[in-house]
Structure 1
Amino acid sequence: MVNVEAILIGLLSAAHTPEQATHAARTVLRDHAHQLAEQQRAVAQTRHDRSYSDNRVFELKGSRDAADLIDPKVP
């Protein structure tokens, strides 16, 4: 698996101290993960609104739970 954080730290360290680069890389990754989770929640809600399946409530909950797993802003 590729260590994206290490790559970002390396790229950012050219213009920053190692501590600043680490902080910037982690911030970028956390923000990106949060945005992906928000997109997942939006897609789940859209599918829920269009579905007439008996399982739609469970599917929505499952999708939201999956989004929560990647969202660093969810405790």
Structure 2
Amino acid sequence: MPVNVEAILIGLLSIAHTPEQAQHAAREVLRQHAHELAEQQRALLDSTGPIWTGTTGQVIDHIDPEVTKP
């Protein structure tokens, strides 16, 4: 069963916030985390070269919420 990280963060953050503030904070934490993971993957590829065949950039961009999707 997949873990709903957003729901866990909302629960933790709701102690000191309204439900709406907790939801916004949880989404922001997840957005920042996804962006950081994508940046780490980009840095790895820049330093080691492609480790996958195909469209590596598209795969990484898919997890990055700061990349504009077509």
Identity percentage over the alignment?
A: 62
Report whether the alignment pairs 1:74 with 2:42: no
Q: 1:39: Cα distance to partner?
A: 0.3
In structure 2, the residue matched to 1:18 is 19
Q: What's the TM-score once normalised by structure 1's chain length?
A: 0.80
Is there any run of 5+ residues in structure 2 with no aligned partner, and where?
none
Cα distance in structure 2, aligned partners of 1:71 and 1:36: 8
Indicate the RMSD between aligned Cα atoms, in angstroms: 1.6
After TM superposition, where is structure 1 displaced by more than 3 Å over at least 4 residues in a row? none
Structure 1 pair 34/26, CA: closer, same or farther in 2 (3 Å)? same
Residues 40, 67 of structure 1: 8 Å contact kept: yes
Q: 1:62: Cα distance to partner?
A: 3.0
> Which secondary structure state, in structure 1, belongs to the residue aligned with residue 55 of structure 2?
helix
Report which of the two has the higher share of helix: 1
Cα distance in structure 2, aligned partners of 1:16 and 1:47: 43
Query: Paired residue for 2:56, among 40, 60, 63?
Result: 63
Is there any run of 5+ residues in structure 1 with no aligned partner, and where?
49-55
Aligned length: 66
In structure 2, the residue matched to 1:42 is 43
Report Cα offsets for 1:22-74 as digits up to 9, x if no partner: 000000000000000000000011112xxxxxxx5x74x63322210100011
